[in-house]
A and B are shown apart, each in its own frame.
Chain A
Amino acid sequence: MSAAAQSSLSIATPEGVVFSYQLATPVSRCFAWIIDAVAIGGMTYFVSRVVNIAGFLSADFANFLSVVLYFVISVGYGILLEWRWRGQTLGKRVFGLRVIDVHGFRLQFPQIALRNLLRPIDSLPLFYLVGGVAALATRWGQRLGDLAANTVVAHERYWDEPNLDPLAPAKYNSLLAYPRLAGRLRTLANPEAVAFALRAVTGRDSYQPAARLELFAELADYFRSLAHFPEAAIEGLSDEQFVGAVLRVIYHAPGRPHS
């Protein structure tokens, strides 16, 4: 176990590509577990109502079914769902979490079974205290079942193309009339600065007015230093509008529709 907890798990492929998984926090896993506990409770209640029908034939047999099916549901819920849904239970699906192999390989059934069969230890003495402490103490936030099965729980990622239309519509972008200067911007702009500018534009409503003015003034100065657009192109544009127009130029070449 390592004390240095990480928020992501990086895997380097033999091709020299590095990809990373955003690891789930104990809190998000706890919320997912609450949903799973409710689902198990609901299923058990439903099954016990159905089993009561068998009570008309034999009360003993109905009790037998109740005892066995509760056990099967409580143990099999995680195993079956994580197997069928590739590392997800209902709770994990709701919170966008997924169990993955620690080396990025395909998740195997024995791994899923093992991490679920070790829940009795993780849940000791109450409310997953042992598992929670283990998750806080290990590098990748693994409970003991995850350690034994070589798994981690990570956030799912979705394809979400940034939509700059509401922030910087191409229709009114005066910078697009200067393709050579726009090309120079694309060539010289620092990627980190561009990513930072994108975050600033999309999250602009969260800034205090004074801080917002200062932030966009600095960004606008930086982009102006890379390409000197004619006064006619930038006349009347606030710093914030200028940064939005720059992003539009960088992300979408002129004449290309938003993909």
Chain B
Amino acid sequence: MIVDWSRFVGAEKSYWDELEQVLAKLESNPEYGLSLAEVQRLHYLYERCSGDLVRLDQFSEPRLRASLESLVARAYGAIYETRAPVRIRWKAAIYAFPRAFRRHLGAFQLAVGITILGCAFGWFAIRKDPQTKAVLMPFSGLMISPRDRVAIEESSKTDRLTGVKASFSGQLMTHNIQVAIMTMAAGITWGSGTFLLLFYNGVILGAVAADYIAGGQGTFLAGWLLPHGSVEIPAILLGGQAGFILAGALIGWGSGLPRSARLRAVAGDLFAIIAGAACLLVWAGMVEAFVSQYHQPVLPYTLKIAFGVCELAALAAFLGWTGRE
């Protein structure tokens, strides 16, 4: 039976308008806390409007139905959402990163393992055939022999970064953050993209290490890479960790949950890890531009190595212990 449309709208519209107002208030201020009376009223309005929608099933007026559906959908989202609204609290935000890291330690270990595998590949490739340097290390600054480069750097009387230090730092920050984001995002390919990016990073790292150590420049290498690399490399590994978490949620080994529930469960951790990695890479970009490019005698290698080791220890302590309950 068709309801009397005009009477129906006349009787119910005030409830729809009231629900609309409550929802607008909640949506404009996600932190707004409803009182018990307001919660009860919201629930009543939701049920009433849901009932109206059911009654409209018998009356296919498409625009009215679409409008009521929209209202009921918004109320449904407000009532059945069990996740707490995101509140920006600095302490909780800082804790979220190391806690998420520790929750998914296996994914981080996998990222470390793949990078080490890449390092080993790069190392042995350079040791077996030094001619592969041009392929494995496509950076012009690394093409000269390590001994020559160290001689040039240590005898340099001028600062080649004068006037471009800040912009160089900005480029490093944004590029490395893009790499970390890409490493995470590539997890959507069931982890294969993350695997390839981490392996490739490892190959470059292993090749550079093999080249410099074989050339007797291990100390220079450590003094050059450690100040920024002790933060930058773990940050990229964190991107890889996020990528494998995403892949794990997609694949769902050993989980009885549907895919959407698995992805929902890790979304907060993914964001915490990638946001934390981005913060680390801002620091790494500054250090690389302002510290790493200066060598002995301007900055003694022991000081640079000690600085890098301290950073690594601080990062490990932060990720390992901060926010433990």
Binding site for B on A (CB under 8 A): 11, 13-17, 19-22, 58-61, 63-68, 70-71, 75, 86, 101-106, 108-111, 113-114, 117-121, 144, 147-150, 156-162, 186-187, 189, 191-192, 194-195, 198, 250-253, 256, 258-259
Given A118-B188, A191-B60, decide whether A64 and B166 contact each other with a Cβ distance below 8 A: yes
- The answer to the question of B313 belonging to the interface, with a C-beta cut-off of 8 Å to chain A, is no
Q: Closest Cβ of chain B: how far from A2's Cβ, in Å?
A: 12
In whole angstroms, how far apart are the Cα atoms of A16 and B72 in the complex? 12
Contact sample, A vs B, 8 pairs, CB 8 Å cutoff: A11-B76, A60-B165, A101-B77, A106-B85, A108-B85, A186-B1, A256-B7, A259-B6
- The answer to the question of B61 belonging to the interface, with a C-beta cut-off of 8 Å to chain A, is yes
Contact mask B149-168 → A, CB, 8 Å, 1/0? 00000000000000111110
- A187-B1, A252-B6 are known; give 19 further A-B pairs, CB within 8 A: A16-B54, A17-B50, A60-B167, A61-B166, A64-B166, A66-B167, A68-B170, A70-B174, A71-B178, A106-B85, A108-B83, A149-B263, A156-B70, A157-B66, A157-B67, A162-B63, A186-B1, A250-B2, A259-B9
Residues of A close to B181: CB separation below 8 A: 75, 117, 120
Given A64-B170, A252-B6, decide whether A148 and B263 contact each other with a Cβ distance below 8 A: yes
**B59/A58 in contact, CB under 8 A:** no
Partner of B166, one of A63, A114, A144, A198: A63
Partner of A148, one of B4, B64, B188: B188
**A161/B185 in contact, CB under 8 A:** no
- The answer to the question of B25 belonging to the interface, with a C-beta cut-off of 8 Å to chain A, is no
Closest to B9 in A: A259
- The answer to the question of B274 belonging to the interface, with a C-beta cut-off of 8 Å to chain A, is yes
Q: Closest Cβ of chain B: how far from A40's Cβ, in Å?
A: 15
Binding site for A on B (CB under 8 A): 1-2, 4-7, 9-10, 13, 27, 30, 47, 50, 53-54, 58-64, 66-67, 69-70, 72-73, 76-78, 80-81, 83, 85-86, 163-167, 169-171, 173-174, 177-178, 181-182, 184-186, 188-189, 193, 246, 250, 260, 263-264, 267-268, 270-272, 274-275
Closest to A119 in B: B185
**B6/A191 in contact, CB under 8 A:** no
**B185/A117 in contact, CB under 8 A:** yes
Closest to B165 in A: A60
In whole angstroms, how far apart are the Cα atoms of A253 and B3 in the complex? 10
Closest to A60 in B: B166
**A15/B167 in contact, CB under 8 A:** no
Q: Which of A11, A110, A258 has the most CB of B within 10 A?
A: A110
**B67/A148 in contact, CB under 8 A:** no
Partner of B186, one of A59, A86, A121, A147: A121
Residues of B close to A105: CB separation below 8 A: 77, 80-81, 83
Residues of A close to B61: CB separation below 8 A: 162, 194-195, 198, 251
Q: Closest Cβ of chain B: how far from A124's Cβ, in Å?
A: 10
Partner of B59, one of A159, A191, A259: A191
**A20/B69 in contact, CB under 8 A:** yes
Partner of B267, one of A14, A110, A194, A198: A110
**B73/A11 in contact, CB under 8 A:** yes
In whole angstroms, how far apart are the Cα atoms of A110 and B30 in the complex? 14
**A147/B188 in contact, CB under 8 A:** yes
Partner of A192, one of B5, B60, B177: B60
In whole angstroms, how far apart are the Cα atoms of A6 and B166 in the complex? 50
